[in-house]
Amino acid sequence: MTWQVYIVQCADQSLYTGISKDIDRRIHEHNHEDKKAAKYTRARRPVKLVYAEACQDRSTASRREYELKALSRDKKFALIASAGER
């Protein structure tokens, strides 16, 4: 499996960005497991996957996560929309 950076949309319409080798497992953790879910998403369930991008290694995924977190909300939604058009 390769590392991936992902964005989930929370029940309150906020966005959360993270990295994982297994996105399906991670989304399940965000939605169902208190100890493994991010503190941010625990109070904003359910979350749904809206964007994912493969990266070659953990370092690249972490750098890309940092870049995505720095984007404005509007730019994140534009990125999500452009990925959906592909």
Domain boundaries, the chain: 3-85
This prediction's pTM: 0.94
Span 41-60, average pLDDT: 96
Average pLDDT, the chain: 94
Cα Dmax for the chain:
35
Strand partners, 5: 19, 53
CB 61 within 8 A of CB 19: yes
Residue 80 has pLDDT above 70, yes or no: yes
Please tell me the CATH code under which domain 3-85 is placed. 3.40.1440.10
